[in-house]
Structure 1
Amino acid sequence: MRLGAIFPHNEIGTDPDAITTWATAVQNLGYQHIMAFDHVLGAGTRNRPGWRGYTSADAFHEVFVLFGYLAAVTTTVELVTGVLIVPQRQTALVAKQAAEIDLLSKGRLRLGIGVGWNDVEYHALGQDFTTRGKRAEEQIAVLRALWAEPEITFEGRWHSIPDAGINPRPARGTIPLWLGGHSTATLDRVGRLGDGWLPLVPPGPQAVEMLRRVHHAAQHAGRDPHDIGIEVKVSLPTGSMDSRLPFLHDWRALGATHATVETHGAGRTLREHLAVLEEAARTYQRYGDT
C-alpha cells in the first residue's frame, strides 16, 4: 500500500512557513501523497442547537489554492483531495482548477470527490442539496470530457456546454477520480465510474459487503474490479502506528492500495505532528518489509 499523510487543517495554522515545513518534511519522510479535506463554509452554531460536525470555528484552507502552493514547494508527493464536494461547485470551474493544479504539479493531482453532508454549505453556495448525488454523476462525465477534448458539446440535466473547452488541459488527458461515501448509490457509482474508493469504515463484514457491491457494479459495467483502488484512513489522534497495524493488515487483505495517516484531533503542535508522522513512517516501513 502507498502511504500518505493528511494535511492537519485545524491545527496547522495560517503561517505559510509552517505549511511549507510540514509538506516538505512529509515528502522527506517518504510519504507518497498528501491528502487535504474540503469545506468552503462552516456552520455557525448560535442558532443551530445540537449541531454536529464541523463549524465556522474549524479552519479549512481552500484546497485548490493550497495545492497550487504545495505544487511549488514539493516535487514528488501526489496531491489528493479527500474529498472535494463537487455538487456544490460549478463543474467547468472545477475542471479548470484541477487541470491547472495538475499542470503546476507535473501530473501529481488525484481528485477525490464526494457529495458531502453539510446542507448549510449547499444553501450558501446556491446549490440543491437534495439532488447532489445525481448531479455528481453528471459532473463526472463533464469533467472527464473537458479534460479529454479541446472542445465539447454537452447537454444534460444540469449542464449545457455548446462547443467550448478549457485550456490548458491536463497533460495526461485526464485526472484520476476517486469517490468517497458509503451509500448504496455511491458504491454503485464507484463500481461503474470511479478510479478508486475512499471508505471510512473498518475492515470487517460491513466493508466486505460494500466491496462486493462495488465489484458487482464494476463487472456489470464491463470493468475489472481490481482496477479500482482503495484508500483507507489511519487515524492517530492518540497512540502509535503499531496499534493500527492490524487495521492495515486486514484492509490490505481486502485489496486496499493506499493508506493515509491522520494526526490532527489532539491539538498537536507542528513539531508534534511531524514526530507522529516520523514514527508512523518508520513503523510502516518495518511492516512493509515483513
Structure 2
Amino acid sequence: MGFGVLFTQGTISGDPHLVGQEILEQAAAADRLGFDAALTTEHKYSPEYFGSPLHLAYAIAARTERVRVGTSIAIAPLYNPVELAQDAAMLDQLSGGRLFLGLGAGYLEEDFTTVGVPFAERAGRMDEGVRVIREAWTRERFSFRGEHYSFTDVSVIPKPRRPGTAIHLGAWTPGGLRRAARLGDGWISNALMSADTMAGMAAAYRAEARRLGRPSRVTAVRFCWPCRSREQGVRDFGETALAMIRTLWEYGAIGDMPGVSSAADITLEDAVRDRMLFGTPDEIAASVEGFRAKAGVDDFLLIFRHPTGPALKPVLDAMELFAAEIAGRA
C-alpha cells in the first residue's frame, strides 16, 4: 500500500443511509483513481463515527475490485477474537485476498461501557486477542488459555487466503508501540500527531521490532486536503479541519501540543503546519517526502472528509486532484 483512503463519517454527517451511500461512492472513486486501500474505523458511542467497521468494509468490498479493504482501526478488545478472526477472514475471501486488518486497544472509556467490556482490561484483551487471531488464521484447530479468553479445540472457517495475512496495530504509547513490534506486522499512527512525535515513535517501534527479529512497517494516518491555492483550501476545508482537531484534542487523542490548555487555543495553522497534508500539490508532495524522510513512513492513509464535511463533491474533486498530481510523484 502506498496511499489509501480512510472514512470517518457518522450520524453527525447526516442520515445514516445517505452517508453510507456517500462512503461507498468515495470507496468506488478510490478504486477507480488508483488509491491502494479504502478502509473504515470506529467508535462505538460517538455520532462522529459509525460503530460497525467490518460491516461497512463488506459493503466497500462489494463495490470495489482492487483496493485493500478492512479497518484502521477496529477496537480489538470490544470483540470476541474468534468471531473477529472469522469475520475478517470472510472479508478476505469475499474480496479476493484484499484484507487490511488494523486493530487498536482503544482509548475512550465510553467505547467500552457501551458494550460492557471493562476499560481497565483493554491492554490484556488486546494482547490476547491478537494472539488468538494468529492462532485462528494459521492452525486448523487450536486451544488457548489466557486471563481474558479461553478456547478449546476450535477452528475458524474459512481461513484468510494467505496464512500470513498481516495485522497492523495502532498505538501512540510506549506500551502500545512495544506491542505493535511484538505482535503486529506494522504500526499505524494516530491522525494528528506531529511529524517530530511520529518520527520518535517510529524509531522506537522499529528498534523494538529489530530487537525481536520482527517485521516492521509504518502507516501514517493523515487528514488531507489538496487545493489549487491556500485561500481555496482554507475556504473549503478550514472550518471542518479545525473542528476535527479540536474534537480529537478533547478526546485525548492529541498529547503533543505544548501550551494548549483548551480546544479553543488550537488554530488552523497549528493543524496544517505538520499534522495534516494540506496545500497545493507541490506543497503536499513535499510534506509526504518530509514524513518519509523524518519518520520513515511507508504508507499513508488519507482522510479527505471529516464527520462535519466538506461535502461529497469537493471531497471527490480533492481525491481526484491527489491521484492525478500527487500520488505519482510522491
TM range (shorter): 0.7 to 0.9
Matched length: 270
Tell me which of 20, 28, 41 is aligned to 2:24. Answer: 20
2:44 is paired with a residue whose SS is coil
Tell me which of 263, 276, 283 is aligned to 2:304. Answer: 263
- Asked if the contact 1:234/1:244 (under 8 Å) is kept, the reply is no
- Normalising by structure 2, report the TM-score: 0.76
Tell me which of 222, 245, 249 is aligned to 2:289. Answer: 249
Tell me the CA shift for residue 17 of structure 1: 4.5
- Matched with 1:136 is 126
- Unaligned segments of structure 1, at least 5 residues: 43-56
- Asked if the contact 1:192/1:218 (under 8 Å) is kept, the reply is yes
The AA in structure 2 aligned to 1:198 is: I
Tell me the CA shift for residue 231 of structure 1: 1.1
The AA in structure 1 aligned to 2:212 is: A
- Asked if the contact 1:240/1:280 (under 8 Å) is kept, the reply is no
- Matched with 2:3 is 3
The AA in structure 2 aligned to 1:14 is: H
Tell me the CA shift for residue 180 of structure 1: 0.8
Deviations 1:51-70 (A, max 9, x none): xxxxxx32416211111111
Q: Distance in 1 between matches of 2:189 and 2:74?
A: 15
- Asked if the contact 2:292/2:298 (under 8 Å) is kept, the reply is yes
Alignment of 1:71-220 (within 5 A): 71-200=61-190, 201-204=193-196, 206-220=197-211
- Asked if the contact 2:131/2:183 (under 8 Å) is kept, the reply is no
- Matched with 2:223 is 235
Tell me the CA shift for residue 98 of structure 1: 0.6
The AA in structure 1 aligned to 2:9 is: H
- Asked if the contact 1:241/1:283 (under 8 Å) is kept, the reply is no
Q: Distance in 2 between matches of 1:59 and 1:194?
A: 25
The AA in structure 2 aligned to 1:247 is: S
User: How has the CA–CA distance of structure 1 residues 179 and 198 changed in structure 2, closer, same or farther, with 3 Å as cutoff?
Assistant: same
1:113 is paired with a residue whose SS is strand
Deviations 1:187-228 (A, max 9, x none): 111222211111132322x333322321232122123xxx31
- Unaligned segments of structure 2, at least 5 residues: 225-236, 239-277
Q: Distance in 2 between matches of 1:211 and 1:186?
A: 12
The AA in structure 2 aligned to 1:281 is: A
